[in-house]
Chain A
Amino acid sequence: MPVAAQPRATFILDNGAYNIKAGFATNEVPSIIPNCLARSRGRHVYIGDEFLTQCKDFSGVVFRRPFEKGHLTNWESEKAIWDRLLFSKEVGFQVEPDETALIVTEPALQLPVCSSNMDQIVFEEYGFSSYYRCTTAALVHENETGLLFGASGRSDTTLIIDSGYSATVIIPIIENTVYYPAVRRLNVGGRLLRNFLKETISFRHYNMMDESWIVNEIKDQCCFVTTTFAKDLETCKKLPAARNPLALDYVLPRATAPGIRQGHIRDKTLPPDPDDQILTLGNERFSVPELLFNPSDIGMRQAGLPEAIMQSISAVPDADVRGLLLGNVVFVGGNTKFAGFRDRISTELRALVPDDISLRLGFPEDPITYGWQGGTKLGLDKTSLQSRQVTKKEYQEYGLSICMRKFGKKTVKVLENNV
């Protein structure tokens, strides 16, 4: 038995507040597992993926998440989810931690104690042979981002906007290191959008305050970002629902004889089914994602995403670096999947950026798994990973301090010298 076993596998775990994207570095695509415990109306508790595969009735489901406002605070539930993810036969990874190198993501502005707790769990509870903890943005940065701009290769300097469940975070990476003084957090995320849609539907149509999952599906299927907010608002006001091209009928899910019929958009060419319960959506379709661009619509005292990006950029002291960042902008996270997001952010950002700066915006094909894909690139690059990770032996010798030193917030020396 060798003294220090070389890890036979590298496992990448993009630990999101909504979904975990996980898989071995050699896998093509990650498995996507809800990062939550879900309790159905029948009081059955599902862990992670069990919810999607076993739960039949999504009505009245309540959730418990290990993440609270973007910090991983509850390890009792996270461990249950990770145990199922790593070891269960159904998910299929059956990881052997003492022969595996682990790459895990954490939120960019997480409290240090939450990060330290993860370090302890990884080494003392699971016993992984080595471990690297970083932000999802750092993994996004590992991809060949040039491909997003019709070029090739990658840049040392990227501006990553991660718009996920908890919030939208703007992370500039300069010379391959996260530049923390310019990281900015906009408190509009998938959770806020879903709750705002829930509140609006419950006030105007049916009470759906207990139906988080169903409203989330409605948001994913029906909402879009408009580039002509004022015009669309007029259309929805002036035209009745029957003649309004923007209005949609959504058929709510219901129990039928064979099983639960999923919620879907009604096909107006077919005659309506009298048993269906219809929810008509008008300006909610675009007012909800509009919060990403105008949080003040609900009274939040934060600027919208384009202005927030400029706030982050202006916190970078070097003008050349600012130009480099704006030439390599990448959008990841579920909220970037809204139809019309691309056009809207391009137009608004171009208006705020000086004319002489070349603005290049990159939208990966799958903004949810792009971070994990970057993780596989890093996982397969043994030399690079070995220089960044902490091994079990190092942890046993030096303890938490080595994790804090290697994964902690380092400043970028280039900017320090020039300032």
Chain B
Amino acid sequence: MPLVELVTGATAQSTISGRKNFPKREGDSSSIQRAINRRLADLERENYNDSVKIEVPKAEGSRSSGKSPAVRRILVSKKTLSNLFDDDETGTSEFYSAAVERSRYPMRHLCSVCGYWGAITCIRCGARYCSLACEDTHRETRCLKVYA
């Protein structure tokens, strides 16, 4: 009986003291998730510099275009995909309902610096790294830059 009490007493003591001293993550989970989403959106870009505008060159002797008003409207339309999604709710929901769902298996974590297994999580920003060397690189470069 007293042995059990001793054990539980000791565990409770160390847990409480551990929790008090453990430093908290500096970014909260929603801003970290926003940073992840922003990075994924960046990975879907066509050009690094998003504001690049390439004008269609006017071809000499080009065939007459815009033969009907409907076609002229399509050709001058500057609507982007997000405009088109806003216009068509059913189409958008059909499109998103066909997306592949999450995996049933747990995700694996890779070092954000060198690509090896990322066993250690950065206390401040939640990124993964594998070793002290990669921790140094991470602290110098990407840590907390994500939501600066």
A residues apposed to B, CB below 8 Å: 37-39, 45, 47, 62-65, 68-69, 71, 73, 75-77, 79-80, 83-84, 87, 109, 111-114, 117, 120-121, 124-125, 180, 183-187, 191-192, 195-196, 198-200, 203-204, 209-210, 212, 233, 236-237, 282-284, 287, 294, 296-304, 307-308, 311
Can you list 18 pairs linking A and B with CB atoms under 8 Å apart? A45-B57, A62-B54, A69-B44, A75-B75, A111-B85, A113-B84, A113-B88, A121-B71, A185-B95, A187-B100, A195-B43, A203-B142, A210-B48, A287-B110, A297-B107, A301-B102, A307-B100, A311-B101
Q: Which of A210, A302, A303 contacts B104 (CB 8 A)?
A: A303
| A113–B87 touching, CB < 8 Å | yes
Residue B5 CB within 8 A of the other chain: no
| A79–B77 touching, CB < 8 Å | no
Residue B16 CB within 8 A of the other chain: no
Binds A, one of B7-15, B23-31, B60-68: B60-68
Chain B contacts of A210 at CB under 8 A?
Answer: 48-49
| A303–B47 touching, CB < 8 Å | no
| B65–A299 touching, CB < 8 Å | no
Q: How far is the CA of A191 from the CA of B45 in the complex (A)?
A: 8
Q: Which of A63, A73, A185, A195 contacts B84 (CB 8 A)?
A: A73
| A294–B108 touching, CB < 8 Å | yes
Residue B81 CB within 8 A of the other chain: yes
| A299–B46 touching, CB < 8 Å | no
Q: How far is the CA of A87 from the CA of B92 in the complex (A)?
A: 35
Chain A contacts of B115 at CB under 8 A?
Answer: 200, 233, 236, 282-284, 287
Residue B4 CB within 8 A of the other chain: no
Q: How far is the CA of A57 from the CA of B64 in the complex (A)?
A: 33
Q: Closest 3 interchain pairs by CB? A: A296-B107, A303-B103, A64-B54
**A295 CB to nearest chain B CB (Å):** 8
Q: Which of A63, A68, A117, A184 contacts B74 (CB 8 A)?
A: A117
| Extra inter-chain contacts (14) besides given A233-B115, A294-B108, CB under 8 Å | A47-B57, A63-B46, A65-B46, A69-B81, A73-B81, A75-B74, A83-B59, A111-B85, A120-B68, A187-B99, A195-B45, A203-B141, A302-B100, A302-B103
